[in-house]
Structure 1
């Protein structure tokens, strides 16, 4: 009986040990998966836990801003004590620029924000810049292009040449006009112009309010042209010429300790419906093999090709 009792006790002890090891193994696996996910996804509860200056990059075409708006909310709730918005963009959709402007004004209510135009900050990208508290640009940066545009091809002469016509039944003459298949009527052109002018007026009012222009000053900068950083400073489109260090110095003007804080990149989460982990994983891999520029390009690539976008655009391109 004593031997059987000893065996039974040993079995129970062994089972307990196995249970403990199973729990530890499960916890180890869970922690490993969580850390791996955060390493790939970028923004995480494991990062940005101490006071710092957050850096947001706005590169390339301005399209859907769902991911950036989520990012702004995360930064607002984080330990970031200031925000640098690094801009290198020709603009994009007017609605995308509006979303960025609104999001940055909301973020500015909780954190001091400064825009740094590193190379190009035009149209919808400039719209985003005026949503911050202060604008810095390099001397040779291109700034401005305040305006709204809608473009559409008209192939009616080509269709006439090859003997093809497109017929339509409309509920009213201005439905789906202009369509590009027939010459644009004066009424359709006027209706479209009214939409462009309405949004253009809103854009100008936004710039006038944020940059404290009078009517003459606004007229000098809002005819759609671009300016160098030096010209933009003289015209009061920006506040300072300089680089990112200049932007950091401005953040530390009222709070000197901010100058000593580290600058940490905040990368927006992918909103791609197809394999978001593959996208973020590729960007993370590129970063860690010394190809940071490739990683930035993967992260900032638009989900929808610019050529497939319809509607009003605020964009500059030679």
Structure 2
């Protein structure tokens, strides 16, 4: 019985030891996917940070998709900066844009990185996403990717005739001449149209100025190629909106070179995935640069007027 007991105990403890090792292994893998980097003294690693989805202050997309927030980008880049084994960063971008303020924050975070940053645009790097990417040390785009969409759009809806036809008498009690500007029960006055056009023009000029400064382009030249146009990666290279075209491996090679890595290099992925909070809570400001209805739909603010303000998409 004693011998049998020893055998049973050996099996039990052996099994427990195996389970502990297995759990530790899984935890290590999960930790790596969430941005925990295996430290190495060699400095031969390129950190890959995926920026895929809408840019916003919330943390879940309109249809449950992923979201890029300034907080998660800052956290990921900080982890890469703190790791002595990481020499450079590759931002894997696939985004149509989003919040203008969040996009500019991410742009500043990229610009302030203590380590070289290369952006690789896989499918889409447009509007706010391109704005953020423009501050990177180098931009590489897939030849067939969609790049650019430097432009501003403000959408409004006039449903006054619909309301009349259906016997709906919609109105408001307001204080302030322009408080119901953009409400869907009436059209804009000439004064209101001019006011909103001025806002759109100002934001458009701001967008062009940022891209011109980041890409070291003449502002008049940037204006001539902006106009809300979408370009392929190949066209964007010819227009100097990106530095080179190629796949992810090519972009990694450039990042490794900028990081001073000679020969082979390692890679590690730092996740920017956040929780499941509602993105709608984040979009208090809707003035932005838009890729247009063909790529994405503008969000509605739900305020007391019905202006469908511009969104980066």
Post-superposition Cα deviations, 1:125-172, rounded to whole Å, max 9, x if no partner, equal 111110211111121111111012222333222112112122222221
1:154 has 2:154 as partner: no
Deviation at 1:220, TM superposition (A): 2.2
Extract structure 1 runs of 4+ deviating beyond 3 A.
32-38, 252-256
1:61 has 2:54 as partner: yes
Tell me, what secondary structure is at the counterpart of 1:92? Answer: coil
Q: In 2, Cα distance between the equivalents of 1:57 and 1:33?
A: 25
| Change in 2 beyond 3 A, CA 1:73/1:129 | same
Q: Aligned residue pairs: how many? A: 258
**Mean CA deviation greater in 67-76 or 237-246:** 67-76
Structure with greater helix percent:
1
Matching of residues 198-277 of structure 1 within 5 Å: 198-257=202-261, 260-273=264-277
Deviation at 1:251, TM superposition (A): 2.4
- Give the aligned partner of residue 96 of structure 1: 102
Q: What is the CA RMSD across the aligned residues, in angstroms?
A: 2.9
| Change in 2 beyond 3 A, CA 1:256/1:44 | closer
Q: In 2, Cα distance between the equivalents of 1:250 and 1:57?
A: 17
Post-superposition Cα deviations, 1:288-308, rounded to whole Å, max 9, x if no partner, equal xxxxxxxxxxxxxxx4269x8
Residue ranges of structure 1 left out of the alignment (5+ in a row): 1-24, 274-302
Asked if structure 1 preserves the Cα contact closer than 8 Å seen for 2:116 and 2:259, the reply is: no
Residue ranges of structure 2 left out of the alignment (5+ in a row): 1-15, 58-68, 295-313
- Give the aligned partner of residue 72 of structure 1: 77
Q: In 1, Cα distance between the equivalents of 2:284 and 2:267?
A: 34
| Change in 2 beyond 3 A, CA 1:261/1:34 | closer
Matching of residues 83-162 of structure 1 within 5 Å: 83-107=89-113, 110-162=114-166
TM-score where L is the length of structure 1 = 0.72
Asked if structure 1 preserves the Cα contact closer than 8 Å seen for 2:92 and 2:122, the reply is: yes
- Give the aligned partner of residue 279 of structure 1: none
- Give the aligned partner of residue 81 of structure 1: 87
Q: In 1, Cα distance between the equivalents of 2:88 and 2:249?
A: 13
Which structure's CA Rg is the greater one? 1
- Give the aligned partner of residue 10 of structure 2: none
Q: In 2, Cα distance between the equivalents of 1:90 and 1:254?
A: 27
Q: In 1, Cα distance between the equivalents of 2:47 and 2:109?
A: 15
Asked if structure 2 preserves the Cα contact closer than 8 Å seen for 1:53 and 1:81, the reply is: yes
Asked if structure 2 preserves the Cα contact closer than 8 Å seen for 1:57 and 1:87, the reply is: yes
Q: In 1, Cα distance between the equivalents of 2:160 and 2:261?
A: 64
Q: In 1, Cα distance between the equivalents of 2:135 and 2:238?
A: 20
